[in-house]
Amino acid sequence: MIEKLLRLIYLHLAKDKKYVPSSITLGPLLSDSNEELRKLFGTPYIRNLSFFLSKTGNGQEIGRDYRNRFVHYIDISNEMLTIQFTSQILYLFLDVLNTVFLYCQEY
């Protein structure tokens, strides 16, 4: 849901500036070159989301990679699925949702 929400707001922000395919993936959405989302969320926020949802760094070795782990069901264990983990994912989603909501209130 976080990826879909980011994609929808990005498509809205960039619609009059450049062509954006509706199938844009999480990597370009969370990249440092994404000016539209960086203006809305800020660079530290985007990097924080990138840490939790994907892998970053030159060798792609930094980050939790939650998005790919769940989408491809890789490296998931019962010990990982705790109330703390669920709360963390829910917090990330609600934080993105609240930021988008505040943006929509201004415009």
- Whole-number Cα distances in Å, 62 to 13, 32, 69, 80, 85: 29, 15, 14, 18, 18
Q: What's the pTM?
A: 0.86
- Whole-number Cα distances in Å, 34 to 5, 7, 24, 53, 77: 15, 12, 12, 16, 33
Per-residue pLDDT reduced to its tens digit, 22-56: 889 999 999 989 999 999 999 999 999 999 999 88
* Better pLDDT: 77 or 57: 77
Look up residue 45 and give its amino acid.
Y
Mean pLDDT over the full length of the chain: 91
3-class secondary structure, 56 = strand
Nearest-5° Cα angle at 64, 62 to 65: 100
What are the structural domain ranges in the chain?
2-106
Q: Are 69 and 92 in contact (CB under 8 A)?
A: no
What's the distance, Cα to Cα, between the start and end of the chain in Å? 23
3-class secondary structure, 62 = strand
Look up residue 74 and give its amino acid.
I
Query: Residue 46: its pLDDT value, please?
Result: 95
**pLDDT grade for 17, boundaries at 50, 70 and 90:** confident
Query: Residue 16: its pLDDT value, please?
Result: 85
